[in-house]
Every structure is written in structure tokens, then in C-alpha cells.
Amino acid sequence: MTEISIKNLCKEYNDAPVLRNVNMEISGEEFCVIVGASGCGKSTFLRILLGEIQPSSGEIRIDGRPLPPEPGPERGVVYQRYSVFPHMSVLENVMLGPGFAASPLLGRLSGKRRRAAADEAMHYLREVGLDHACSLYPASLSGGMQQRLALAQALIMKPQILLLDEPFGALDPGTRKDMQDLILRLWRENRMVVFMVTHDLEEGFMLGTRVVVFDKIPSLKDGNENSGATITYDIPLNGRRKPCD
Ligand SMILES: Nc1ncnc2c1ncn2[C@@H]1O[C@H](COP(=O)(O)OP(=O)(O)OP(=O)(O)O)[C@@H](O)[C@H]1O
Ligand SMILES: [Mg+2]
């Protein structure tokens, strides 16, 4: 079971506050949906969790230990737009993570280890329904297929935490519905904490075990809006669904 503790997290960019005193406790494999107005700091929050940027103050602990200051295999990420490598086949894209884990300089495996990584990559491609496309290149995949590929790429590293930044924002409604079903199944099977940013409230309430609203807080002193955003609502939906349901 994953425990995440976020205490008084603040982030400023060039002295401009973006996040102010964000507090959150997560216990167990929650599906935490994050909503909020454009520019209120949702992606910034995910990038801090990923270790891509550092908070200005505050602390994040995972299972009691400080969050590692750099991205690592225990935290996967999928963005709205494609984060896959265009010059590599679908299979090679998924094998890349294990390759770099085993051989940080070259990212390539050989012999038995390469075959084992290919078998594992095929397993995750089957999980996301892309095994039939393993030898294609990303340019010939639809948007939904590219997002499935990005999910397989993240999942093969067996992340404890999966960060999704508007992952279905660029998809048509039919594909989006399929991807919502897929992400719920993957979350249940892989027992991860998911943080997912969406602008679609209906999607948030349908997928989440918890919906967290970020909003800017007016400055107490002068009423201006530039004092950063914090969590203004934290709505538990746990009664409805648990990972093992
Ligand atoms: N690297 C950066 N340097 C300076 N300012 C930044 C940087 N990244 C983001 N910002 C600013 O921080 C604020 C929050 O940005 P962020 O991307 O986190 O918002 P968001 O809630 O994800 O917005 P959206 O819903 O549009 O994706 C914005 O005002 C943005 O301009
Ligand atoms: Mg964003």
C-alpha cells in the first residue's frame, strides 16, 4: 500500500506564486483526479510529483521517505500530447525504459535480456490492445493508439505512482470512452496511485476515488488574484469503488 504525504507545498516561478500550502494525504491505491481553471498550477503539481521540478518549500514523502529529487521508475507519466519516440517502432518504444534501466548509457540490451524485455513489452502491448501494431512506427498510429503506447511505456516500469496530465484531452469522444475503461482496468490490475488532471468534471467523477479541486486564493492583504492556488475542495468518492472491486 502506498502512502503519500504532501505538506505545505509551495511553488513560485520567478517570485510569482503558483501553488500555496498544498496539503494532501494519500493512503492506498487511490485514483486521484485533479481539476481546476487553466493556469492554476495542476501541471506544475504533477511535475513536482514527477521530480522534474522542485517545490519552493514544503515536503512530499512517499512511504515515509522524501520524494527523490529526480524522476525515477517508480513514477510514470503520460501527457496530453504524444511523448513517444517517432523514430522507434511501437515495440522498441516500450522496450526503451527497461533498456535504460539495465544499461543507462546505451539504453540497449542484447541476447537473452533483449528477448526477455521484448516478451515483457509484448505483454504490456497486449494489456493496452496494441500488440498487433508492435512493428509500426508512431506516425502511423491514431491519437488513441499513441496514448495507449504511452501508457504501455509507463506501465512496463511498474510505477507505484502514475501521473496523467489530461491524457485523453486530444481524443474524440468514442476513443476517450474506450481509454477511460482502459485506464480503470489498468489502475485496478497494476495497483498504483493515479493522479490524473482533467478539464472534464464528468470524467473526473466517473473515474476518481477522489476529486481534488485546485483554485487560486485571493491575497488576504490586497485582494489580488496572484497569491497562488491551493486545494479548495477534496471530495472523497471512495465509497463507490476500490481498486479491488
Ligand atoms: N517554467 C515556467 N516558468 C515560469 N512560469 C511557469 C512555468 N511553467 C508554468 N508557469 C506558470 O505557472 C502557472 C501554472 O501553470 P501550469 O501549467 O501548472 O497550469 P495548469 O493548471 O496545468 O494549466 P492548464 O489547465 O492550462 O494546463 C501559469 O501561470 C504558467 O504560466
Ligand atoms: Mg496543465
DSSP 190-205: HT-EEEEE-S-HHHHH
Q: Do 244 and 164 belong to one domain?
A: yes
Which of residues 158, 178, 209 is at a domain's end?
A: 158
Task: Report which of 114, 199, 110, 97 is spatially closest to residue 149, judged by C-alpha positions.
Answer: 97
How many structural domains comprise the chain? 2
Q: Which amino acid is present at 65? A: R
Which of residues 127, 158, 189 is at a domain's end?
A: 158
User: Residue 79 falls within a domain, yes or no?
Assistant: no
Q: Do 187 and 245 belong to one domain?
A: yes
CATH code of 224's domain? 3.40.50.300
The rounded Å distance from CA 1 to ligand 1 centre is 31
Q: Say which ligand is closest to the CA of 226.
A: 1
Q: Considering the entire predicted model, what is its pTM?
A: 0.92
Q: List the residue whose alpha carbon is closest to atom 18 of ligand 1.
A: 41
Q: Do 176 and 201 belong to one domain?
A: yes
The rounded Å distance from CA 76 to ligand 1 centre is 20
* Domain that includes residue 5, residue range: 1-74+159-245
Q: Do 48 and 98 belong to one domain?
A: no
Q: Do 133 and 206 belong to one domain?
A: no
Q: Do 104 and 154 belong to one domain?
A: yes
d(CA 30, CA 1) in angstroms, rounded, equals 10
Q: Do 184 and 239 belong to one domain?
A: yes
Q: List the residue whose alpha carbon is closest to atom 8 of ligand 1.
A: 44
pLDDT in tens, the chain (245 residues): 899 999 999 999 998 999 999 999 999 899 999 999 999 999 999 999 999 999 999 999 999 999 999 999 899 999 987 778 999 999 999 999 887 776 666 667 778 878 888 999 999 999 999 999 999 999 999 989 999 999 999 999 999 999 999 999 888 888 899 999 999 999 999 889 999 999 999 999 999 999 999 998 876 555 555 789 999 999 999 655 554 44
Q: Do 92 and 190 belong to one domain?
A: no
Neighbours of ion ligand 2 (CB under 5 A): 43
Buried b (16+ CB within 10 A) or exposed e, 40-68: bbbbbbbbbbbbeeebbebebebeeeebe
Which of residues 158, 180, 198 is at a domain's end?
A: 158
Q: Do 50 and 154 belong to one domain?
A: no
Q: Do 176 and 240 belong to one domain?
A: yes
Q: Do 69 and 93 belong to one domain?
A: no
Buried b (16+ CB within 10 A) or exposed e, 186-223: bbbebebbbbbbbebeebbebbbbbbbbbebeeeeeee
Q: Do 142 and 183 belong to one domain?
A: no
User: Residue 80 falls within a domain, yes or no?
Assistant: no
